[in-house]
Amino acid sequence: MNRWLYAGLIVLATSLMGSSFAIGKMGLAYSSPILLVAFRFTIAGLLMGLLVKVLKRPHPKKISAWSKMALVGLFQTTGVMACIFLSLKTIHAGESSILTFTNPFLVVLFGTIFVKARYRVLQWFGVTIGFIGVFITLGMSLQFEIVTILGIASAVSWAIATLLIKKWEPEFDNWVLTAYQMLFGGIALFVFSFIFEKPTFVITSESMFILFWLAIMASIVQFGSWFTVLRKGDPGKTSAFLFLAPFFGVLTGWILLDEALSLNVLIGGCFIFVGIFFVNWNPYLKKEQEVKKSAYI
């Protein structure tokens, strides 16, 4: 993939991820939390699944393949969103975000342990610096309570989904996987909504605009962009760019909700960009390419 297209899709996906926190917070004035995300992903999955472009693409023919897509949806959509919004009932949004966006570190960790992926010391260093940047950006406030397990569980669920997608990617069309994992995950979220909360949704022009923005831009466009770059790149390297999402979240919170934009955001942003650089920088890349090239001569 062209590096400029790759970078553009990364910025698009992470900015939509980050802005969905602020826009979602606006939506909570009209809806209970889990019901809002259940509507969001079910509508997104249905809309995307009905697109002619998706309908004409190859669909799985085996039950096992459909089961794999459902499993991705349970981790990527249901697990992540349910844990985030359940944790928000007890801990602050900033604390939940810090825990959720430890995902890149967990991708590298789980990738090393379970799929025997090999990452350089610089990549581990970059992931650590990036996480510190997220911590600084969100105010350096994290209270370690039992309920924070939910925040950690959202990051674990996301990391597992990332590795599953990378493992099973040859079996699925990118857009088909995006559509159906959202649909399966959204349906499961409806079940969670009726179990863990009293479902409510107030229909107004503003609430419907927010809902369809979350369903189309923050779900279809976001997941489509994210799965595309995840398919083309190393999961550890690509997931490091998720550190950008909370940074964009703070910026959109400042723009849309008049939330304070403090010095820690600027400092944290610098750490995030440095962390991403180290995760993706390979000082030996040119030498490795020369060795490979000489092997064919």
As given in the structure block, the two tokens for residue 196 are 């863990």
- CA-CA distance, 203 to 209, in Å (whole number)? 10
Predicted confidence at residue 289, as pLDDT, reads 41
What's the predicted TM-score (pTM) here?
Answer: 0.74
Which residues touch 156 (CB under 8 Å, ≥6 apart)? 106
How far from the centroid of its chain's Cα atoms is residue 7's Cα? 16
Cα 182–chain centre separation:
13
Retrieve residue 88's tokens.
């928000």
The pLDDT tens digits for 77-105 are 899 888 877 776 666 565 666 667 777 77
- Determine the pLDDT at residue 206: 94
Q: What is the spatial distance between Cα 93 and Cα 257, in angstroms, rounded to a whole number?
A: 14
Distance, C-alpha 274 to centroid of its chain: 20
Nearest to 138 by CA among 285, 236, 49, 245: 245
Extract the residue ranges of the chain whose pLDDT is less than 70. 1, 52-53, 88-99, 115-116, 137-148, 233-237, 239-240, 243, 260-261, 265, 279-297
Q: What is the pLDDT of residue 82?
A: 83
Looking at residue 75, what is its pLDDT? 92
Q: How is 251-292 classified by DSSP, letter by letter?
A: HHHHHHH-----HHHHHHHHHHHHHHHHHH--TTHHHHHHHH
Distance CA 105, CA 158 (A): 11
pLDDT digits (tens, 9 = 90+) for 205-223: 999 999 999 999 988 888 7
**Angle, CA 17 vertex, CA 74 and CA 64 arms, to 5°:** 25
As given in the structure block, the two tokens for residue 132 are 């510190």
Helix H segments across the chain? 3-27, 33-50, 52-55, 63-73, 80-87, 93-100, 103-114, 121-137, 148-168, 174-196, 205-215, 222-232, 235-240, 244-257, 263-280, 285-295
